[in-house]
Structure 1
Amino acid sequence: MNPTIKVEQVNKSFSKKAVLEDVSLTIEKGQLYGLIGPSGAGKTTLVKMIVGMEKADSGTIQVLDKKMPNLAILQEIGYMAQSDALYAELTGEENLKFFASLYKLNKKDQKNRIAYAASLVNLTDDLKKRVSAYSGGMKRRLSLAIALIQDPKILILDEPTVGIDPALKISIWNELMRLKTEEDKTIIVTTHVMDEAERCDYVAMVRDGRIITSGSPAALKEQYQVTHFDEVFLKAGVKHHENPGAH
């Protein structure tokens, strides 16, 4: 079985500044894969390249056995960007309808998917409101609903829970777990929150455009001989800088 996503030796620079250096990773079908690292580490650029919105300077990215960028594959990817790409003058429902119309859904499916996505993110009662009246957290939730609208095989979520209240954060993570186990969806999440990272099957830690370590959370804790997952990042970071005097 071929992996769902394969990134091989990818490099990317913006105006001569290297943003990603020699990044390789493999994501299996049905895996919840975490990309962890501070802001500016290169996570967003990497997910944009997997979606096909940015092109690699060198290296290759394959999604569902197709070389990216590939327009046909976009039908299979639900993408939630870090900044909300919403139509503020439209209502929540109109936003969902617009994005649903981009996919090959019949009217009944469209209606069902909109109802499902809205209820999942707790927006059913707010669908008739204009997005310009939404709070930041509501906009994040609407962006997540849009990413789920066409029932994609792959979900790529860039910092999905930033600005979302703790109770809803838990319910969103529970739903991600369900989508992974019951619907066999492949999910990539970028985050800098360690307790979220620990819920992933596999994590890659990104720092200064490189993957400094990767593995399952349990394996990484064992490898770095720590009890708390955030200590892995600290230890891996020290090793990455090859500064033997640092603790």
Structure 2
Amino acid sequence: MLKRRLVTEDDFTWKLPTTTSAEEEVEMLRYVGGVDMSFSKEDPSVACGTLVVLDTQNLQVVYEDYSLVTLDVPYVPGFLAFREAPILLELLQRMKKSDASVFYPQLLMVDGNGILHPRGFGVACHLGVLADLPTIGIGKNLHHVDGLSYSGVRQLLEANENYSKDFITLIGCSGHVWGVAMRSTQGALKPIFVSVGHRVSLDTAIRIVKMTCKYRVPEPIRQADIRSREYLRQRQMGMSE
């Protein structure tokens, strides 16, 4: 069972970039990937899987690849990974075998949840275990688990004592920490939901998300989303001509 292989603590050899000069022999986190799936508005069974890799030194895209597919697996709430993970995994495997393997991501951000999930094992966990990569789940919507609700999170974000905080820790009724609701600007009420995917701790995930954010959504996910939608649009325009 995949879930048994899940690691929720830091398990990698690289170090996070710091403002101080790093020793050259220490491997630093430089290449962060982002994966996303976009779906056709005309035909929801047509989807585009996208992998982008960014250089953390300047947040520029150094690699991108796409896979246009027709899905035969129906969407079942809570089981997103069974539709998306195989497509995204294939993109990673293709990159690893290509001339661009030098840019292969040291860490992957996934447009979807990690352990912040009804089964505690969302698409970010699923893909992380399959690819054996450190992964972070970036959710735009909140799964209602363990007593957590969007209205409750919004109340926490609106509270005066939390106004200046970058993130709110999501603690369920059981006392379990599921992730954080993170906002890009002070007082913002539309957060993203960050959770552990695989082989990375929540503290490290928060640091990396902050490091790669220019807007509300971290840049690897934002670029994957933008490029995925544009690729799908262009391909569909080409097919209709």
Q: What's the TM-score bracket when you normalise by the shorter of the two chains?
A: 0.3 to 0.5
Q: Which structure has the highest helix share of the two?
A: 1
Instruction: Name the TM-score, length of structure 2 as normaliser.
Output: 0.34
